[in-house]
Structure 1
Amino acid sequence: MTSRKKIIVKQVPIEEVVKVNKTIKEFEPYKKEYFEKNVLKLVIVAYVGGQPAGYIVGYDKFNDGSFYCWV
């Protein structure tokens, strides 16, 4: 029988995204100010087995009402 880990996706404060970002080797370790420079609309982190697995940040990048997602 295969063991499945629980997946949780939830909206979080910017500080949580900064922590997760530091754990992703392929990404530069951006500071809180980097994420705050845009008016953020949505900040979400996914957890697998209670451990952060990834994140998505969305905002109006072009100030035209569109929604830009950055992973």
Structure 2
Amino acid sequence: MAAEGLGWLLVPLHQLVSWVAAGAMVFGGVVPYIPQYRDIRRTQNADGFSTHVCLVLLVANILRILFW
């Protein structure tokens, strides 16, 4: 009986968690690039920046989103 009474809370909570998880999947792939971007902007030097790493990370994130 207590579980039936909490139904009004569990359904919106489940939807909220689902939306947060979906947002994390979409925007979470960008977060690792932020410190590197800030460092390159601050030093005006892109030495050591590998485009191959970016390619691998982008492909991995795209595959993760498609799998999800």
TM-score by length of 2: 0.24
Instruction: Decide which structure has the larger Cα Rg and report it.
Output: 2
Task: From the two aligned structures, give the one with the greater helix fraction.
Answer: 2
Task: From the two aligned structures, give the one with the greater strand fraction.
Answer: 1
Structure possessing the higher relative contact order (Cα contacts under 8 Å, 6 or more residues apart) = 2
TM-score by length of 1: 0.24
